[in-house]
Amino acid sequence: MFKPLLSAPHVVQRGEVKPAAAWAYRAFAVLIALAAGGVFLASLGYNPFRVYASMLMGALGTPGMQRETVKLTIPLAMASLGVLLAFKMRFWNIGAEGQFALGAVAASYFANFQPQLPPALLISLMAASAVVLAGLWGLVPAWFKTRFGTNETLFTLMLNYIVLYIITYLREGPWRDPAGGFAATPRFPRQARLPELHFPSIGNVHIGLIVMLLAVVLVYLYLRYTKQGYEIAVVGQNERTARYAGMPVKRIVLRTMFLSAGICGLAGMMQVAGPDRQLTDAVAGGRGFTAVSVVWLARLSPLGSLAVAFLFSVMQKGCSMMQTEFRIPASMSDILQGIVLFFVLGAEFFLQYSIRRRREVPA
Amino acid sequence: MTPSPPAIQLVGLTKCFDRTTACDRIDLDVRRGEILALLGENGSGKTTLTNMLSGIYQPDAGRVLLDGKPAVIRSPRDAIRLGIGMIHQHFKLVEVLTARENILLGQRGPLKTRPEDALASFGMAVDLDKKIYDMSVSEKQAVEILKVLCRGADKLILDEPTAVLTPQEIQHLFDALDRMRKEGKAVIIITHKLDEVMAISDRVSVLRRGVNVGTVETARTDRYFLTELMVGRPLDLDVRRAEAPLGPTLLKVSKLTARDEGGRQLIQDVSFELRGGEIMGVAGVAGSGQKALCEIIAGLEKPSDGSVFMDGQRIDGLTPREIIRRGVSMAFIPEDRLGMGLVGGMNIPDNLLLKTYRDEKGIILRRRKAREEAQRMVERLRIVTPGLNVKLSKLSGGNVQKVLLGREISLGPRVLITAYPVRGLDIGASMTIYDMLNEQKQKGVGVLFVGEDLDVLLSLCDRILVLCAGRVSAIVESRFATKALLGMKMTGLRTDKEDEYV
């Protein structure tokens, strides 16, 4: 006798979804995203399968291409680790771009003006100064936040532009290479470049690859097994509880932001002393912002960030191939990344809720 | 003559969340001119049930009949259109507007009843042109009730309406409800206070684990039978005061005064001494300064004046960590329970580590001891959890509370401050908490117990400090105090103050 009065679907909350199932959902979301991107490509008159195939070839087809993809992954993954530390504390550091660039500036100073130092010391100084300068830069919004409760999102965002214009200033003015025809900073001397390691499968890659992989492991261990990592998690999840438990919340916020920005700065140093070999205002090239998406997609997991950074790099490298072969603008890569982000974040909704229809009363 | 159909009738109403069934084929009815008490422990499905009636949740199965006609309630707006008025525990009023403006807010078309008429017919005393922020809790509640009445509600659902009221205010509320009953309205009152059930309701429906385990006529039942229905087993309802020798003075609070950021007075000239082996209750209407008092003692807030001494040493102005080191432990439960003291996204062992993780040397976080401690605590306090690795936010309120209090006790405190430790807890769990506090008292700990239920305060505590608008209006020996006295002292000073301004 019970006829359902309502067959309209409604949204209900789900319980815990097993991690494996959750990752399956997300992987599925990536597939749908690629399909949606395919529809977009088809609407432009291309065969999406051929385009994707050429993308994959372009990113991973030859050892040389693999190497280039790996080189793209290094700075992105490194910057993501920095962003991740701050995000774990729910400190929305959108300033990785500037911190990255500032790390490169610090490194460039030693590379261009202290090249007489012994190479090992020079490289170490470049790295250390990058970490410290970027770290201090990161302390600025953190201090204002702890002292006056300023909004760190806007604050860190605005600081990016200051750094970018500092680079422009240095390039046009004090650091301009007198030998060059148009305004540019000098190229790094040989001893200021990161040493390269030979990998049998993909050839020479600068040592930043090892540093980055090491950093992934260290950040993972730091967050999971150290007191400081624990403090970051508590402050991030419940600042009142942290204060109540007697944690020095301000110090934790400052320390973590220093680390977060410092890692981004080191990423910048590795980029300028690795592939770039010259300071330009495009040194960060949007990686600091992409890192935010990477970390978000990876659900604040260090290993996940590495995987997502690699995926994004494949897309970026692949799209440059796509550009030459099909004359599709390489900005297709950005569009695809956006679509992936959209679908994977959409999948999070379905991990928390499911849509149901009203059913009959069970007898 | 056929009897008129019930105002609200639920048939097989079911709602599932994931694998748990919050409401399982519930049948229930309320007639016009009747007050039905809905009784149940935490997590028994009371809230889910009312949320379905007020259009917040959609049932998975079953149906709702209003005055005999099938009804679909898709939204709170639907609910009010169908004459269902929901009074939530947390008021949904705009503070800067007057009572009248709040009643009119969001209303399309004319009101069904003029506020003045509703006031008159139910004997409620509310100044319609007073701003909400000037109102006491009970006045705000009255405005909430007026709001739904004026919009034509003839079926009222009140969710724990007495939790925040003084005994006198409760009496006013019950008088108003009684008049509504006589006017032929149907009223559902959700509560877990048995005395109130006995005092006001005509019938009682008891929910246990999402099932309606019985509906009885109030006149033909008693508290013990209802408890057994609700808990599923007979239970000793008496809160006992443990005997313990009185120790030395541990905490000495004198002339404590504090203001909030806006300069508003939170507490003023609060002085008392807490000795070992006693439980000192703190009574007061919600927002009388309890929070500020606890937070200052724990070092989370700074007083603007006055001092706090522990063992003769001044501790106000010290950091929370230093105060914890001196043996002052606070288990403070705000409304949302996980708000301060615990981290909902972490498991039990990680929550136990909060105050002790720095005691170990080195930079590595050592979880092993905490896991063992958690295991012991789960067994000793009978914490219901699927495992140690489950996030705390997935546990029920009572179990969360046990973790918090268990942790504070495991630190071996000398002064234990606990605020609302049984808020939202069922009877069984509450009893466990009271036993834990008595045990601490017998160990010589000084316990400061900020409570809501005056009956409990009177039977558990040795002395009761009554706060009224931030001031101490009385410190009484519980043995010689009565509920009426406490109630008067809780509101007493407010009238004095008004006199000053007249």
| Residues B199, B348 within the same domain | no
Nearest to B298 among A16, A244, A361 (CB): A244
Residue B500 has pLDDT above 80, yes or no: no
Asked if B213 and B274 sit in the same domain, the reply is: no
Which residues partner with B313 through β-bridges? B310
Q: Same domain for B192 and B269? A: no
Count of CB atoms within 10 A of residue A49's CB? 11
CB pair distance less than 8 Å for B343 and A233: yes
**What is the predicted pLDDT for the residue at A321?**
82
Residue A4: what pLDDT?
43
- SS3 of chain B: helix, strand, coil, percent, to 5: 35, 25, 40
Contact status of A174 with chain B (Cβ, < 8 Å)? no
**Which residue, among B418, B464, B423, has the nearest Cα to B439 in the 3D structure?**
B418
Asked if B218 and B291 sit in the same domain, the reply is no
- Flag whether pLDDT at A154 surpasses 80: yes
Say yes or no to pLDDT of B152 above 90. Answer: no
**Within-domain flag for B303:** yes
CA distances from A283 to A97, A99, A100, A127, A264 (A): 9, 11, 8, 16, 12
Cβ atoms of A152 and A96 within 8 Å: the answer is no
Which whole number is the average pLDDT over B176-180?
A: 92
Structure tokens at B195: 């005395």
Residue B295 distance to chain A (closest CA, Å): 9
What tokens appear for B21 in the block? 């069934």
> String of b and e for B268-289 (b: at least 16 CB within 10 Å)?
bebebbbbbbbbbbbbbbeebb
Please report which confidence band the pLDDT of residue A240 belongs to, taking 50, 70 and 90 as the band edges: confident
Choosing from B231, B263, B294, the residue where a domain stops is B231
Tell if the CB–CB gap between A237 and B72 is shorter than 8 Å. no
What's the CATH code of the domain at B16? 3.40.50.300
CA of A249, closest CA in chain B: separation in Å? 11
Pair B226, B257 in one domain = no
Nearest CA in chain A to B342: A241
Query: What average pLDDT does the segment A264-276 reach?
Result: 96
Judged by CB atoms closer than 8 Å, whether chains meet at A2 and B17 is answered as no
User: For all residues of chain B together, what is the average pLDDT?
Assistant: 86
In a domain, B332, yes or no: yes
Which of residues B198, B231, B264 is at a domain's end?
B231
Q: How far apart, in whole angstroms, are the C-alpha atoms of residue A314 and residue A317? A: 5
**Residue A320 or B187, more confident:** B187
Q: What is the pLDDT of residues B116-144, one digit of tens each?
A: 888 888 877 788 999 988 888 888 888 99
Give the start-end residues of each E strand in chain A. 10-13, 196-199, 203-206, 353-356
Asked whether residue B239 is domain-assigned, the answer is: no
Write out the DSSP string of A44-90. Answer: TT--HHHHHHHHHHHHHSSHHHHHHHHHHHHHHHHHHHHHHHHHHTT
Nearest to B397 by CA among B333, B337, B331: B337
Q: Is residue B80 part of a domain?
A: yes
Best mutation target, B15, B23, B57, B60, to test chain A (most A CBs within 10 A): B60
Across the interface, do B357 and A362 touch by the CB < 8 Å criterion? Answer: no
Report the chain B residue with the minimal C-alpha distance to residue A234: B343
| Cβ–Cβ below 8 Å for B332 and A359 | no
Phi, psi for residue B3 in degrees, rounded to 5: -70, 145
pLDDT at A182: 80
Per the domain annotation, does B82 fall within a domain? Answer: yes
Residue B493 has pLDDT above 50, yes or no: no
Asked which of A326-330, B106-110, B177-181, B491-495 is least confident by mean pLDDT, the reply is B491-495
- Contact at 8 Å (CB) between B26 and B14? yes
User: pLDDT confidence of B334, banded at 50, 70, 90?
Assistant: low
Do B387 and B467 share a structural domain?
Answer: yes
Between residues B97 and B335, the one the model is more confident about:
B97
Give contacts of A 15-44 with B, CB under 8 A: 15-16
Domain of residue B81 covers 8-231
A245 to chain B: which residues are within 8 Å by CB?
Answer: 320, 324, 354-355
Q: Distance from A10 to chain B by nearest Cα, in Å?
A: 7
Choose from B58, B319, B411 for mutation: most chain A CBs within 10 A: B58
Residue B237 in any domain: the answer is: no
Smallest Cβ–Cβ distance between B14 and the set A229, A237, A361 belongs to A361
Question: What integer best gives the mean pLDDT of chain A?
Answer: 89
CA of B85 vs chain A CAs: smallest distance (Å): 22
- Is the per-residue pLDDT at B441 higher than 80? yes
Question: Which H, E and C letters describe B295-347, residue by residue?
Answer: HHHCCCCCCCEEEEEECCEECCCCCHHHHHHCCEEEEECCCCCCCCCCCCCCE
Whether the CB of A352 is below 8 Å from some CB of chain B: the reply is no
Give A177-230 pLDDT, tens digit per residue. Answer: 888 778 888 899 999 999 999 988 888 899 999 999 999 999 999 999 999 999
Q: State pLDDT tens for residues B244-275.
A: 899 999 999 999 999 888 788 889 999 999 99
| Residue B39: strand pairing partners | B191, B206
Answer whether A228 touches B (CB < 8 Å).
yes
Cβ–Cβ contact A12 with B under 8 A: yes
By three-state DSSP, how is residue A226 classified? strand
User: What is the tally of structural domains in chain B?
Assistant: 2
Mean pLDDT over B432-446 rounds to: 91
B308 lies in the same domain as B189: no
Quick one: chain A helix, strand, coil %, rounded to 5?
Answer: 70, 5, 25
Q: Is the domain of B216 the same as that of B272?
A: no
pLDDT in tens, B47-92: 889 889 988 888 888 989 999 999 888 888 889 889 999 998 778 8
In this structure, the answer to whether residues B486 and B433 fall within a common structural domain is yes
- Which chain B residues touch A225 with a CB distance below 8 Å? 364-365
Contact B346 A234 (CB under 8 A): yes
Whether B349 and B395 share a structural domain: yes
Report residue B494's pLDDT band, with 50, 70 and 90 as the boundaries: very low
Q: Are residues B257 and B221 in the same domain?
A: no
Instruction: Note whether B225 and B258 are same-domain residues.
Output: no
* pLDDT tens per residue across span B409-438: 888 889 999 988 887 677 777 888 899 899
Find the mean pLDDT for residues B457-483: 92
| The pairing of beta strand B328-332 with beta strand B415-419 | parallel
- pLDDT bracket for residue B204 (50, 70, 90): very high
pLDDT at residue number B499: 39
Give domain status of residue B61, yes or no.
yes
pLDDT band for B338, please (50, 70, 90 cuts): low
- Pairwise CB contact (< 8 Å): B63 & A10: no
8 Å CB contact of A2 and B62: yes
User: How many A-B residue pairs are in contact by the CB < 8 A criterion?
Assistant: 104
Q: Give residue-wise pLDDT tens across range A36-75.
A: 989 988 998 889 898 889 888 989 989 999 999 999 999 9
